[in-house]
Structure 1
Amino acid sequence: MVVSLTLLTLGVLTALTAPRLLARADWAEREPVVALWVWQCVVASVLISFGLSMTLSAAAAWQAVRGHVFAPAPQAVVEAYALAAHGPWSAVLAVLLACGGLWSAAMLTREIRRARARGRRRRAELLVRAPLLPGEEPGREPLVLLEGERPDAWWLPGTTPQLVVTTAALHRLKGRQLDAVLAHEQGHARARHDWLLHCSAALATGFPQVPVFAAFRDEMHRLVELAADDVASRRFGRLTIALALVELNEDRGVFGPSPAPDAQLPQRVNRLLAAAPRLTAGRRLRLTATAALVPVVPLMVAFVPALVAFVPALRGLR
């Protein structure tokens, strides 16, 4: 029970402190891909902590669960967790955490279903506005040109992602700006950013009072755009993609004195124009490796008692 409570405490502390620590990081905008990885590792650590706490609490409360969890383990390992000395709260804790896990799965399922419904609706609207030519199949064309007075370009995720560009965008964008916009949208498609958005939205919707999940959703929306901007800027230059963003959005009031529709766009343009240098390869590697170790911490907490008890038992067998 002590290990279970330790894991629960570790998950709660990570959920409370990680958003504050990451908010102070001055490198996230310079390395959005690394920042995406760090956030995923932090959230994975929280979920692993709660999952292992639930498993050990259930093993302490019910003999049937204990038999399955510790079936291949020597008796010394089982005794190291002191499962027999559990209190009445172990069953309550296990049930609460199990309900949290089921609720998370339900929220993710609902988010995926809603996203698929939105995708089907948008593709149906697209077919109405841009009918198929003879010989074309629905959803097979990677690029769709749409008649429209508003300059726009967006990505439709799915089994075969599609890039949609309006004719107004073709008239507005100059030189290689259109290529830069297409590279931006292709960056979303290749990295499957839609799955990150779905998972973060499901967790934030299911647990709105948990700071790490709300911050995870907000940062995913921001960082995936920065990462896609970097994909385009590496191929066509920062100035090209910055000017393309301005051309596509200047008529929407985004760059006015009170930019309400999308306050992130001016920040994205300023970031591209500032051209802050990237972190060194060594620092990127250290950040990536450190983040990968974060989910390992709850695993170590859970398995250290077993290892400590198993090694002497193994020596006794010799």
Structure 2
Amino acid sequence: MTSCLLLLCALGLAAAVPVARALNRATWPEQAPVLGLWVWQCLVATALLSCLTALVLGSAAGFRTLRDHLFGSAPPAVVAAYQLSSAPAWTMALTLLMAAGAAWTAAALVGQLHAVRRVRGAARARLRERAPELPAGLAADHGPLLVLEEEYPDAWRMPGSPSRLVVTTAALHRLTDRQLDAVLTHERGHARARHDWLLCLSIALAGAFPKVPLFTHFCEQTHRLVELAADDTAARQCGHVTTALALVELNQHRGAFSHPSSRRLLDERVNRLLTPPPPFRPRERTLIATAAALAPLLPLLITFAPGIGALE
């Protein structure tokens, strides 16, 4: 069992630091942002599963009741292979550390969910008070749409049930019909892919563990890649140039007042739309997606390896 715990800790540490930093420096996710999001999610799942399986093994070694519950129906050879009764003393300290991390993670996720629900509820209430009557024809064309009287052009999606697309009157006046379609298609792309939940998860993990490179990079890259993925959705339906022009029109008024990171992301998005990167070949995409999907299985393989070996 000691070797399993060490391997699980090494795997989780590798995913959390060097692999995360390498993936953060990679440029290929710009070519396939949906694939990049998938790889980041699989890497996070690998690290979390490594910690969770280490916690289970350590708890089984330290608490006889849990050990009997987990291994009560297992053959004696399997129980002997894990050597749970002879685990060293440091495994209990590691188990307590893992348990504290698991509790902290759960608390962060629950807290983030409550905060998101509270903020969304307040925002939806404010929007309902300010929204005028919907212009004729827009509801039939674009579904649940909320038009807000505002002097600056903007459009966004208000998550919730039901989900709402919000667009300002200035955007309706400034954007052409084709550009408005691109903006709304972009926001519907966020809705279909459930990007709000992915962002919520990344923010919660980064807030709970701000010093862990995996979670901080996951949060940063998630905010970036979800926008690139939604841009691709809009560009496929409405055209790359139209989508780029719509982005410029919506953000022109912000100028120097926007955050430097927001300006850099906007520049990247517009340049990427005007000069699309070469797409991945299907074979490359399949290999990367498959390798990423197999990564979370490594902690399970390490955990079950002694038992499987004992049965052979």
Alignment partners' CA distance in 2, 1:172 and 1:132: 19
User: In the alignment, what sits opposite 1:240?
Assistant: 242
Instruction: Say whether the 8 Å CA contact 1:229–1:241 is kept in structure 2.
Output: yes
In structure 2, give the amino acid aligned to 1:125. Answer: R
**Counterpart amino acid of residue 27 in structure 1:** W
How does 1:66-85 map onto structure 2 within 5 Å? Answer: 66-85=67-86
Sequence identity (%): 50
Shift of the 217–210 alpha-carbon distance from structure 1 to 2, 3 Å rule, reads same
**CA shift digits 1:128-166 (9 cap, x unpaired):** 101679xxxxxxx71011111010001000121100000
| TM-score (ref. length: structure 1) | 0.92
Quote the Cα distance in structure 2 between the aligned partners of 1:187 and 1:44.
24
8 Å contact kept, 1:254–1:261: no
Whole-angstrom CA distance in 1 between matches of 2:262 and 2:272: 19
- Equivalence for 1:211: 213
Moved over 3 A (4+): 258-262
Give SS of 1:251's match: coil
Counterpart of 2:209 in structure 1: which amino acid? F
Match 2:159 to one of 136, 157, 160: 157
Offset of residue 275 of structure 1 = 1.4
The aligned counterpart of 1:60 is 61
Normalized per residue, the structure richer in helix is: 2
Q: Which range moved further: 166-175 or 123-132?
A: 123-132
1:316 equivalent in structure 2: none
Q: Distance in 1 between matches of 2:239 and 2:283?
A: 24
| 2:264 alignment counterpart | 263
| Residue number in structure 1 paired with 2:94 | 93
* Matched letter for residue 179 of structure 1: D
Where in structure 2 are the equivalents of 1:100-139 lying within 5 Å?
Answer: 100-130=101-131
The answer (yes or no) to whether the contact 1:155–1:162 under 8 Å persists in 2 is yes
The amino acid across from 2:231 in the alignment is D
Partner of 1:47 in structure 2?
48
- Mind listing any 5+ residue stretches in structure 2 that lack a counterpart? 135-142
Distance 1:18 1:242 in 2: 33
Counterpart AA for 1:250 = Q
In 2, Cα distance between the equivalents of 1:304 and 1:158?
A: 43
Rounded Cα–Cα distance in structure 1 between residues aligned with 2:125 and 2:132: 10
Tell me the distance in 2 between the aligned counterparts of 1:16 and 1:202.
18
Paired residues of 1:255 and 1:266 also in contact (CA < 8 A): no
Letter in 2 for 1:147: E
* Residue of structure 1 equivalent to 2:180: 178
Deviation at 1:263, TM superposition (A): 2.3
Using the TM superposition, give the Cα deviation of residue 272 of structure 1 relative to its aligned residue in structure 2, in angstroms.
0.7
- Cα distance change of structure 1 residues 4 and 146 upon mapping to structure 2, 3 Å threshold: same
Unaligned runs of 5+ in 1: 134-140, 312-318
TM-score, structure 2 as length reference: 0.93
User: For 2:253, what is the secondary structure of its paired residue?
Assistant: helix
Deviation at 1:85, TM superposition (A): 1.6
Contact 2:59 2:92 in 1 (8 A): yes
CA distance in 2 between counterparts of 1:74 and 1:191 reads: 45
Task: Tell me how large the CA RMSD over aligned residues is.
Answer: 1.7
Counterpart-to-counterpart distance in 1, 2:298 and 2:25: 22
1:236 Cα deviation after fit: 0.7
